[in-house]
Chains A and B, each alone.
Chain A
Amino acid sequence: MSRQQSINSNQTGASTITAQSPLNRSLRTTGEEIWKRSERINAELFTLTYGAIVSQLCTDYGRNFVQINEELFQMGYNIGVRLIEDFLARTALPRCSDLQETSEVISKCAFKIFLNISPKVINWSNNKDAFSLLIEDNPLSDFVELPMDAMDQLWYSNVLCGVLKGALEMVQLDCDISFVSDILRGDQQTELRIKLNKILKDEIPIGED
């Protein structure tokens, strides 16, 4: 029995391949290349399917928008816990060393690969435990207009919060995720806030260090 990583790789020297190491490639390039190699679908079809789901929820919940927000979040969570595996299999990105790196991965890789947008990372908290994503050109809400009664309660794209929550939880990051503002509500911009509560250290797979 031998623990391969410890001894023989040192001897044979795998150093020749460091030039193409993913560590040296920018996250933006990684995101773009994987986007190019993904099967795609018309964004408008996606938009209107999501719209049909939200509208069905409105019918069923009799415009109880707080409940609808929760429902969208839960649906997103169920997507996120599965989608993360796909993201990791495609990118094989190493674990982020801090939240700043995580924010870059979410914006330049995750959003890029799945929705072909790269939200700006803004509004860092002083102790760097929270940031916002400025979502422009949100493919979920293209051409959407909210009815008046939904304007101050419905977070139309709340599914995104759920997806991020589920995905981050699977890589052992416990975060609070919510929308702060949405253009659909008449706000200046669409801002999604991610706050790291704690790293679930006990759940990080042994062997990663």
Chain B
Amino acid sequence: MAIETILIINKSGGLIYQRNFSDTFASKLNSNDFLIIASTIHSVFAIASQITPKALQITQNNVDYVIPYIPMVGMESSNPQQNRNNNLPVKLGSFKGPDYFKESFVSWNKSGLRQLNSDQFTMYIYQTMTGLKFVALSSNVLANKPASQIGNMDKGKAQNLASQVADNFLRKIYCVYCDYVMKDPFYSLEMPIKSELFDKKVKQMVGNLS
């Protein structure tokens, strides 16, 4: 999955972090555009939650919200050649490696927008219990392929897998956020993240993913 852009939106809909990783469509937008995008995502997310049919909410059980753990998403040693030292604990900030977590987890986002497909990009949203939204824009497009190329079932599967990879990845960005932003005593909660170290780390992880 190639990630074009990562956004972090605070609980009031304010953009606190935005970074482009390639110079495709997203780089044409200016910072003001991104502020608008952030608050729009925030609103659409909420609207989506409200229009979820009640019947659908009731018939679905928790199974749908369980995100399976996909090993080493966005980690350095996802390259199998370097996997030899896997047994040694790697230091990942205050986390002991090789990975930030290693079990499946339940998404906190139950009725809000989770994935948005267009013929240009796919957007994934991970929301935390404290109301932070981690958003990834990917140039991988699944929606528009003709059904003859990939069967309907496969398309669904592929979408589902992509969404799970995204959830795994964005939770790790959340972990990195904890280590580099929450432990930065100068950081003011809810405000834009200026930490270059966080930036570098995110960039590294996005790089590992592609």
| Chain A residues near B (Cβ < 8 Å) | 1-6, 8-12, 14-15, 17-18, 20-23, 25, 33, 36-39, 81-86, 88-90, 92-95, 170-171, 203, 205-209
Contacts and interface: CB of A to CB of B under 8 A. Distances in A.
A3 B106 contact: no
Nearest to B105: A92
B64 A10 contact: yes
6 contacts: A14-B63, A22-B104, A38-B94, A93-B106, A206-B50, A208-B129
B110 A209 contact: yes
A202 B88 CA distance: 45
Contact of A8 (B66, B96, B156): B156
Interface stretch (B18-26, B71-79, B157-165, B197-205): B157-165
Contacts of A208: 108-112, 127, 129
Contact of B143 (A2, A81, A84, A92): A2
Contacts of B130: 84-85, 88, 170-171, 205
Nearest to A84: B130
Contact count band on B: 35 or more
Contacts of B91: 39
B194 to A, nearest CB: 16
B174 interface: yes
Contact of A14 (B48, B49, B68, B101): B68
A89 B112 contact: no
Given A4-B160, A6-B52, A209 B66 contact: no
